[in-house]
Amino acid sequence: MNTPALLRIHVGESDRCDHQPLYEALVLKARERKLAGATVFRSPLGFGASSHVHTAKILQLSTDLPMIVEIVDEEEKLRAFWTEIAPLMDGGLATLQRVEVLAYAPGNGAS
């Protein structure tokens, strides 16, 4: 892999792309583009540019928890992918950083 990198995209759980969650659309598009891998993390607490706190606490239940989509591949592929998906974003945060890949292989039972 040439210059491995990590694209990290922060969105809200309620953000949409057509009729599906934005985080799901991003992962499916990454798979369509045959990028190396993608994972979604759901956060119990966070805030962004608006400074509005999103929390999973029972008394302050939010329907828009922070979601983080991480996609790993070559830096050039991720930059091209970002150009394609940036128009889908209505706010949020995206970062790109170089990473050192220590292992990348399917696990037992992977198909």
Domains with residue ranges and CATH for the chain: 4-98 (3.30.70.120)
pLDDT grade for 50, boundaries at 50, 70 and 90: confident
The identity of residue 71, as a single letter, is I
Question: Which residue type occupies 84?
Answer: E
Question: What is d(CA 93, CA 14) in angstroms, rounded to the nearest whole number?
Answer: 15
- For 77-87, the pLDDT digits (tens) are 999 999 999 99
Does the pLDDT of residue 61 top 70, yes or no? Answer: no
C-alpha 36/C-alpha 96 separation (Å) is 15
Q: Please answer whether residues 86 and 78 qualify as being in contact, where contact means their C-beta atoms are separated by less than 8 angstroms.
A: no
